[in-house]
Structure 1
Amino acid sequence: MVRYGIVAIGIVLLGACTATQKPLRALPKKSAAALKSDFVLFQKILEANHPSLYWYTPKDSMDLYFSQGINSISDSMNEVEFRNRVAWVVSRIRCGHTTVLPSKKFPATQYRFPSFPLYLKTWEDSLVVIGNLFQKDSIFKRGTIITGINGRSNQQILDSIFQFISSDGNAFNYKSQVLSGNFPVWYKNIFGLDSSYRVSYIDSTGKEAMAVLKNFRPVADTSKRAKPGTITVPFKKPTRREIRRAQLLAKRVMVIDTALSTAIIRLTTFSSGRLRTFFRQSFRKIKEQKIEHVVLDLRENGGGDVSTSILLTKYLSDHPFKVGDSVFAISRKFKYHKYIHPTLQYWLAMNFGSRKMEDGLVHYRRYERKLFEPKKKYHFDGQLTLLQGGYSFSATTMFVANLKGQKNTTVAGEESGGGYYGNSAMYLPTITLPNSKIRISLPMYRLVMDASRPKGRGIIPDLPIPPSVQAIRNGTDVKLFTIHELIRNGKL
């Protein structure tokens, strides 16, 4: 219910923003020479500092991709066009922590509209409507199955857009989740705007049909002009305390079902949210009430602080564990520090917290050597279910990976977005290119969590629970419902 409330507030705010949106001027362009200069600098920075530039893609192939990217700049471009060129190359690295971001002054709000009107949930080759900006549309309702847009099949659409989204190795479920989060913006960025869209879909009789949709353009806001005789209810502005509480609940919340002796913990981050206090209080309450099952919902958790992830693992692990087999950087020098921010704090940390070894690499020895012991106080020993998905990433993947295979633990849901073998992260400064001002996140360390694991995919769940068209239509959470029923019937 907390999640639905936050979504409802977001929809109201979105409506308020779009109704007063100013018309978008054409995006300014930069010369081909300036953009090529940015591209060359971007390549040099990655070659100097990225620890996994050639981890999944050989150097000769990456050199070819860089060359193709530079050669594709034959004329002046706006920011979106240039950003796509950079993102196309970055995605070839197959590092989910190396992502391309807009410039700080990019007019994102104004750029949003006009847009393709449908929000779509994607998985495998499926596209299903989860929202429609034309609220009175009687055809494309929630749960409608889409089979193509403007002559492109679902697979063609997904293959085209996925070329611009970074992921760890071949953990493509992350790309599906990212695209599901804002399909209209991704569609517009990659395919541009059409005057209309021929959308193929499955109708109520199960047959394929086609309908034409126009771009969605927000209309002028007339809601403030009340009609004569209309009774208006004044809006009560939430207090700071209410806002802070809502923000905390969006990051972590626990609900206990005493009938099932089950605690459901929803955790959306490992950074901020007073998590140390929350963990201690939650597991104390679980211990006091003798709860038998804990379901930890990590589907929206993109990671965060490694030490916080380690702390939660201590409450649940039945064995000593470590962060990784190897944690290293290729350099602790920032040759191009002028374009990388921040650098001083990372330079200090890497010079005083890491050690250059005989292999010529800079190793974070503490995370390679230290064994972390499980907690004794408030440790949970009952049945544990870890619910993950495409957004489960980085420190979250590390957390799940350390518990997968434990005798009391079931990993459920979909493949994680983060790599099971390892990833590149730890420190994440940002590159800002001088001419285009676009930004690229730059991981400094490569983490191999366990060299014996298969390389290239996310964590595969023990209990796969894929998305469901019927669940989308009904607005139900098929994953939590399935877990609830298995616990209720004693089958988990």
Structure 2
Amino acid sequence: MIKTIFTFLFSILTIGGFAQSIDDPFSQKKMKKDFKIFKEIRIQANSGLYKYRTKEQIDSTYHWADQQIEKSSTYLDFYNIICQLTDYEGSLHNNTSLPKKYAKRLREENEGYFPYPIKWIDGKWLINYENGEVPLGTEIISINGIPISEVIENLYKYYTTDGRNITGKRIGIRTHFAKYFRFHYGQQQNFNVVFKRASSNETETKSLQSVSYKAYYQHFHSRYSKPYDHDYYKDLNENQKYRYKQIDASTGVLTINTFAMGSETTQEHKNYLAFLDSTFADIKAQKLKNLVVDVRQCGGGTDPNDVVTYSYLTQRKFQESKQVWISFNKIPLLKHFDSSVPKFLRPLGVGKFNRDFQNRFPKEKDGKYYISDEENEMKIREPNENAFTGNIYLLISPAVASAGSLFAAMVAGNKNTTVIGEETMGGYYGHNGHISFGYVLPKSKIITDFSIDNIEQDVPEKDNQSYDRGIIPDLEVSQTYQDFLAHRDTQMAFTLQLIETNEK
């Protein structure tokens, strides 16, 4: 009898502990409690809160959230509110994560997901999957009666970018479209898709049965565009992270897929320095006139790989940052910090971390704590003796972010640089980066992450650059439909043709 009772109680606890769904009821009282904590976290710890929005605008979104909570009843409702708020701030390092038990349940859902990945090509959202029920490359017009433009706009909140950038959000949507659709619209048994083939002006309709979470991602990993965009998603080996190739007597191509090559103390970083030194010594010896710098797959990495690379592409003294500040000198709201250390022990061990922040950010002015001039970010750097002095053609894309966009912004600011491609998700004038903080909302256990360093990058003003946008290309070029089908690189072909024309 005791064994039977124990088994029953264990099964109840198991159901309660592991079977929670994002569609479960969640009380407004808990939402209000977590929302109050969320606001305190942003105001006390997030230096990027008012980077792109005024206090009045942020207050207005908080008022909107209060109203939405009054209409909300599920865990997913609250998650969507938090996603909307963090996206509105405008930092690509903002992130809103489900706790493990909810994420696990989501991955186990066996229906309700759109079956195919999609991709933005030539201003349209196309099916990016071959041999499906809807033909490869067909343009989606609507899903379940909702215009695709409206669907996409509603999904923007799940993938954060710097400022008011939109192009970068397409990177998240092309990867997680089915999951984002499920978040906003819920699970669907069927998807009525209105589409149009490239060879026709007539629309067609197809009813697609939903698939599981895992099936969608299996389709994504078998996406048609994989041969073209696989570098962005791979766990790159060292020899895949960067490369150089001279293509003719006057032109070379330097490709950097990531700046994640370790710090000054690592062998991988030292290997990269040796690569740069030998490459640019060779470029100088060959007297090349043109250098294509391709960072289209570069989503970030570690210091100082970005600024060291820039030293080979500039003739000016420079800094990584003109200015860096945070909004506190002691870690605020410690009990909500995302840490495995028990709450009652945190005050005992936080002193060292607070002293580190106080040493790194010693200057206080108007509630902002500014970085020391002795830190590497403020170091005045010299051009390398083998720095390239010819024509630079910088290839960028919406995937460029963080350290990748900081580097690209500095190169884009050179007078000898022509920028080609599509707007980056990372900001031109600055971003929030370096140190990441995470907090756990107490009732929902939703994790909210953001970077605490408010950074002003060392770049010149440019007429085509807005403060709240990514790097804007001088020549906007995106992959064409025909090149998408053929896995051809439209932007590289355009650039090499431009160089050939300029040479003549």
The two structures have a TM-score, normalised by structure 1, of 0.80
What is the CA–CA distance in structure 1 between the aligned matches of 2:155 and 2:396, rounded to whole Å?
24
Aligned to 1:109: 107
Percent sequence identity over matched residues? Answer: 22
Q: AA paired with 2:155?
A: I
Aligned to 1:441: 449
Aligned to 2:32: 36
Q: AA paired with 1:187?
A: F
Aligned to 2:493: 481
- Residue 373 (1) aligns with residue 382 (2): yes
What is the CA–CA distance in structure 2 between the aligned matches of 1:466 and 1:426, rounded to whole Å?
30
Alignment of 1:231-246 (within 5 A): none
Aligned to 2:435: 427
Alignment of 1:311-322 (within 5 A): 311-322=308-319
Alignment of 1:97-176 (within 5 A): 97-105=93-101, 106-107=103-104, 108-111=106-109, 113-122=111-120, 126-131=124-129, 135-137=131-133, 139-141=134-136, 143-176=137-170
Deviations 1:398-435 (A, max 9, x none): 21222224243222211111111211222111112222
- Residue 323 (1) aligns with residue 320 (2): yes
- Residue 417 (1) aligns with residue 419 (2): no
- For structure 2, the residue ranges without an aligned partner over 5 or more in a row are 1-18, 216-233, 263-267, 340-345
What is the CA–CA distance in structure 1 between the aligned matches of 2:261 and 2:331, rounded to whole Å?
28
Residue 39 and residue 360 in structure 1: after superposition, are their counterparts in 2 closer, same or farther (change >3 A)? Answer: closer
Q: Is the 8 A contact 1:125 1:158 kept in 2?
A: no
Cα offset, 1:213, TM superposition = 3.1
Which structure features the higher share of helix residues? 2
- Residue 270 (1) aligns with residue 296 (2): no
Alignment of 1:242-257 (within 5 A): 247-250=237-240, 252-257=241-246
Residue 144 and residue 413 in structure 1: after superposition, are their counterparts in 2 closer, same or farther (change >3 A)? Answer: same
354, 357, 369: which one pairs with 2:364? 357
Q: AA paired with 1:331?
A: F
Q: AA paired with 1:416?
A: T
What is the CA–CA distance in structure 1 between the aligned matches of 2:236 and 2:123, rounded to whole Å?
36
Deviations 1:147-185 (A, max 9, x none): 222222232122222244322212211112221222222
Alignment of 1:465-480 (within 5 A): 465-480=477-492
301, 304, 318: which one pairs with 2:298? 301
80, 87, 90: which one pairs with 2:86? 90
Residue 146 and residue 34 in structure 1: after superposition, are their counterparts in 2 closer, same or farther (change >3 A)? Answer: same
What is the CA–CA distance in structure 2 between the aligned matches of 1:346 and 1:261, rounded to whole Å?
52
Secondary structure of 1:92's match? helix
Deviations 1:302-355 (A, max 9, x none): 223232211111122111112233211121222211222469575343211122
Q: AA paired with 2:356?
A: A
Q: Is the 8 A contact 1:388 1:412 kept in 2?
A: yes
Aligned to 2:50: 54
What is the CA–CA distance in structure 1 between the aligned matches of 2:148 and 2:235, rounded to whole Å?
41
Residue 62 and residue 118 in structure 1: after superposition, are their counterparts in 2 closer, same or farther (change >3 A)? Answer: same
Q: AA paired with 1:254?
A: R
212, 225, 242: which one pairs with 2:206? 212
Secondary structure of 2:93's match? coil
Residue 144 and residue 349 in structure 1: after superposition, are their counterparts in 2 closer, same or farther (change >3 A)? Answer: farther
Q: Is the 8 A contact 2:261 2:272 kept in 1?
A: no
Q: Is the 8 A contact 1:102 1:439 kept in 2?
A: yes
Q: Is the 8 A contact 2:117 2:128 kept in 1?
A: yes
The two structures have a TM-score, normalised by structure 2, of 0.78
Deviations 1:61-102 (A, max 9, x none): 322322332442355423x43321101111221222222122
RMSD: 3.1
Cα offset, 1:257, TM superposition = 4.0
Cα offset, 1:371, TM superposition = 1.9
- Which shows bigger deviation, 406-415 or 65-74? 65-74
What is the CA–CA distance in structure 2 between the aligned matches of 1:145 and 1:220, rounded to whole Å?
24
Residue 257 and residue 109 in structure 1: after superposition, are their counterparts in 2 closer, same or farther (change >3 A)? Answer: farther
Q: Is the 8 A contact 1:255 1:263 kept in 2?
A: yes
- For structure 1, the residue ranges without an aligned partner over 5 or more in a row are 1-23, 222-243
What is the CA–CA distance in structure 1 between the aligned matches of 2:474 and 2:394, rounded to whole Å?
10
Secondary structure of 2:69's match? coil
What is the CA–CA distance in structure 2 between the aligned matches of 1:460 and 1:327, rounded to whole Å?
23
Q: AA paired with 1:370?
A: K
What is the CA–CA distance in structure 2 between the aligned matches of 1:353 and 1:278, rounded to whole Å?
28
